[in-house]
Amino acid sequence: MNIDRPLASVIPSDDDQMEFGPPPDVTNVKVAFAPRNERTHRSPTRESRAGEGDAESSPLLAPRSLELEYGDFENNFPDDPIYQDIVRIAEEAIEFGHYPERIYQGSSGSYFVKDTNNKTIAVFKPKDEEPYGQLNPKWTKWLHKLCCPCCFGRSCLVPNQGYLSEAGASLVDQKLQLNVVPTTKVVKLSSRTFNYNAIDRAKASTKMNINKSFPQLGSKFKRLGLPPKSGSFQLFVTGFKDADYWLRRFDNEALPESTARKFQNLFERLVVLDYIIRNTDRGNDNWLIKYEPASADNEDGKGESDWSLVENPEISVAAIDNGLAFPFKHPDEWRAYPYHWAWLPQAKVPFSQEIKDLVLPQLSDMNFVQELCEELYVLFKTDKGFDRGIYNKQMAVMRGQILNLTQALKDDKSPVQLVQMPVVTVERNRTSSGRTRLDSDSYTQSFSHRTPFFSWC
């Protein structure tokens, strides 16, 4: 397994199933906050919850009510109330001691986020705990950076912006209605289980002690508790396993025709997503498949099942681990970072008419493409290290990918033929501002003639 990336956000459950998504009833959970007059100068410990615990049980986290009163920061997503409700549930769970659990596999600090029932509802990947982040808790990347700086990172990607890439992939997925990426957005969370430096922990402990002993003085603090971390917050879906597991099974057990057609359609959606965002890390171990074999519904429970009631197997695909995408140039130095799905038999089948009807009208519209670029701009510029010049290069690569994909769809090519097309970048020579493309706008196409040394890995 390639350790140059965060591991897929999966975990086996008791029945050996991979789970990755919110529980079905999570949206029905109501989150209520105490009235302001009930929470004023509330103790920063958890003593009030169950009448037990001491002042040292949780010294570094302020209750969310105190953060709202003193810090006044929240995660608001009014355009997606279901997602916002899940984030609220995660915040409440942290307040009551159900802390995110670090994923010990992989090379970054990523966490399973729980609800108050300790059910995993999301995966959180903080920016500063990414493989080359300052607070990455894994020693492998630190050793890599120290001992082999010449091979440090991927030269085509913007360092420490994997969390934006995760959210950007979800944005592209929703914009094109592909529906293969679990909803992912940038969220701020704080938890004692996150990796903080000693100074932040000391500051948090001191402020909490002052607030407890001198509430009036504590109310002057801008924030209590540990500082929140920005990161990608991806919803958790259930019943999935690594694609590699099911692909091996499908080699020996052929899928029913209707299920095979559906899987081909989902596979093509994955291809469209990966190609547009130029995913440099798509192996068969970081996208997921959920396969539910056929079953017969015999309500009476008597006699043999009626074959007319046998349902077709259900299959779904989830594209996770999108943190190594949106390069500002095509790979042209050491590694090519190919799409490993290109070796699958499904990649040799020409794109279906259904996929063409879904994405071709939008990708052929330059106003739509420019609107997509502008929405990514709004997302990417939230990073403190945002560089407009780098962003323009990222969009030039994405436009080139869209140009190739559009041509491949029109020419009835297959995914494997698509990845064999010459890579191109399309730079916009802007004569106007805003999202709408004018007839006076022009674009410059540039083809890459330099190929990576290792083109097969």
28 and 309 in contact (C-beta within 8 Å)?
A: no
Q: What confidence score (pLDDT) does residue 32 get?
A: 42
Dihedral sign computed on CA atoms, order 355, 361, 363, 364? positive
Q: What confidence score (pLDDT) does residue 93 get?
A: 95
- Torsion angle, alpha carbons of 406, 408, 410, 413, to 10: -160
Give the number of other CB atoms < 10 A from CB of residue 354. 13
34 domain-assigned: yes
Strand extents, DSSP E, 227-339 = 229-235, 237-242, 287-292, 314-319
Going by C-alpha positions, the residue among 424, 399, 454, 397 that lies closest to residue 156 is 397
329 domain-assigned: no
Give CA–CA dist 288/12, Å, rounded: 13
66 domain-assigned: yes
357 domain-assigned: no
269 domain-assigned: no
Element (H, E) at 189: strand 184-189
Q: Name the residue range of residue 217's domain.
A: 18-47+54-235
What is the mean pLDDT, run by run of 10 residues, along the chain of 457 residues? 41 43 45 39 34 44 50 74 95 93 83 95 93 76 61 79 96 97 96 90 84 77 83 95 94 90 97 97 92 67 51 91 94 83 96 97 95 97 94 96 97 96 88 53 74 57
- Is 127 in a helix, a strand, or coil? helix
User: What is the number of domains present in the chain?
Assistant: 1
Give the number of other CB atoms < 10 A from CB of residue 148. 9
Kindly report the backbone phi and psi dihedral angles of residue 94, in degrees, each rounded to the nearest multiple of 5, phi listed first.
-65, -40
- Is 358 in a helix, a strand, or coil? helix
Question: Sheet containing 18-21: which strands, arranged edge to edge?
Answer: 18-21, 237-242, 287-292, 314-319
Q: What confidence score (pLDDT) does residue 223 get?
A: 72
Q: What confidence score (pLDDT) does residue 149 get?
A: 52
Going by C-alpha positions, the residue among 21, 20, 22, 18 that lies closest to residue 241 is 18
134 domain-assigned: yes
What tokens appear for 305 in the block? Answer: 């099942």
Taking CA atoms, 387 is separated from 18, 221, 323, in Å, by 38, 32, 18
144 domain-assigned: yes
168 domain-assigned: yes
